[in-house]
Amino acid sequence: AQTVTQSQPEMSVQEAETVTLSCTYDTSESNYYLFWYKQPPSRQMILVIRQEAYKQQNATENRFSVNFQKAAKSFSLKISDSQLGDTAMYFCAFMKHGYGGATNKLIFGTGTLLAVQP
């Protein structure tokens, strides 16, 4: 069975600074996807970034980038130039690769609550 671990329950960062959120996972699969979701106080789940395990290049979306270390089973999220709107709970999630709906199941970590201070 796959597991996802986020060891930082809470983090704080000053506006405009850079912060890194950690995520490790355990799987025996060789092909999979990793995600970071953001949940602001509105409770809406928003996809931040996605990484395909077969791609060596780290994914980037504007101020958000990941450091994907497949051998170490590590998938950290870096937020550059932090903004007040980045304040949210961040969840790391794993999905097994395959075809057919049974592989669309997301396994989530317990989340990291990020507070961006003015």
Partner 1 sequence: NAGVTQTPKFQVLKTGQSMTLQCAQDMNHEYMSWYRQDPGMGLRLIHYSVGAGITDQGEVPNGYNVSRSTTEDFPLRLLSAAPSQTSVYFCASSYSGTGGLDTQYFGPGTRLTVL
* Residues near partner 1 (CB under 8 A): 4, 9, 32-33, 42-45, 47, 50, 52, 91, 95-111
Minimum separation from the CB atom of position 31 to partner 1 (A): 8
Our CB check for partner 1 shows the closer of 43 and 118 to be 43
Contact 1, 96 (CB under 8 A): no
Dihedral of alpha carbons 16, 44, 113, 64, sign: negative
Judge contact between 77 and 68, C-beta under 8 A: no
- Residue 61 CB contacts under 8 Å (≥ 6 apart), including other chains: 48, 49
Nearer to partner 1, 100 or 118 (CB): 100
d(CA 4, CA 31): 16
Q: How far is the CB of 13 from partner 1 (least distance, A)?
A: 22
Of 75 and 91, CB closest to partner 1: 91
As measured in angstroms, the least distance from the Cβ of 106 to partner 1 is 7
